[in-house]
Amino acid sequence: MGSVFLLLQLLFFSSWLSSVIASVSYDHRAVIINGQRRVLISGSIHYPRSTPEMWPDLIQKAKDGGVDVIQTYVFWNGHEPAPGNYYFEERYDLVKFIKLVQQAGLYLHLRIGPYICAEWNFGGFPVWLKYVPGMEFRTDNEPFKAAMQGFTEKIVGMMKSEKLFENQGGPIILSQFVFNWSMTPHHRSSALKIVACPRLLI
């Protein structure tokens, strides 16, 4: 179980390196930014749990407390309340939140999900997913992978178009895919197949 989990972590990290190789790397000892090893301190701010008016103050308080990296999940059920209908306004304005992090001079760790847990309804999954015929959550299941890939492509495409990845001059130095993967025998083989998706997208 431990070896599979370690492999998943390495695959996530290789996906990250492929997107930011210009100035960010990792030598198995530390993250290297602009040629210098860095010990990065991160803190979480979940943008939908506050209002846009609160974001600048929350980000500044994190910076004043010594944080280098703001970490946030991407909340699928808030952004795609119905299949193919996307919402990025008000407290779900992800791009605005990330740009505020950048303006504060901080890095960002984007945890795309699609499952986030986070004590959030349905772990961030849209409720409509469970009504898709043949759906099996978090397995090597075609309906699940199709829905997951559609959302992930939407988010990654948006980040690229807004030039928010570090190699584009943006603050995102780490983009993480999947969270709290179950290592039961039923899920173990699925994990290695599904983790290939972000490597194709980022």
Contact 12, 196 (CB under 8 A): no
Q: Please say whether the beta carbons of 172 and 129 come within 8 A.
A: no
Q: Are 55 and 48 in contact (CB under 8 A)?
A: no
Which of 73, 39, 30, 23 lies closest to 175 in space, CA to CA?
73
Closest of 58, 67, 55 to residue 93, by C-alpha: 55
pLDDT beyond 90 at 201: no
Q: Taking a C-beta distance cutoff of 8 angstroms, is the pair 94, 102 a contact?
A: no
14 half-sphere exposure, CB direction, 13 A CA radius: 11
pLDDT digits (tens, 9 = 90+) for 64-90: 999 999 999 999 999 999 999 999 999
**Token pair belonging to 173:** 């130095």
Do 86 and 154 contact (CB within 8 A), yes or no? yes
What is the per-residue pLDDT for 181? 54
pLDDT of residue 57: 98
What pTM did the predictor assign?
0.80
* Contacting residues for 44 by C-beta, under 8 A, at least 6 apart: 70, 71, 72
Model pLDDT, residue 178: 67
Kindly state the greatest CA–CA separation across the chain: 50
pLDDT tens, residue by residue, 88-130: 999 999 999 999 999 999 999 999 988 777 676 766 789 899 8
Sequence-separated (6 or more) residues with CB below 8 Å from residue 49? none
The number of C-alpha atoms within 13 Å of 120 and in the hemisphere containing its C-beta is 21
> In the chain, what are the domain boundaries?
2-201
What pLDDT score does 197 carry? Answer: 53
- In sequence order, the 6+-apart residues with CB closer than 8 A to the CB of 45 are 55, 58, 59, 62, 70, 71, 72, 97
Identify the CATH class of 2-201: alpha beta
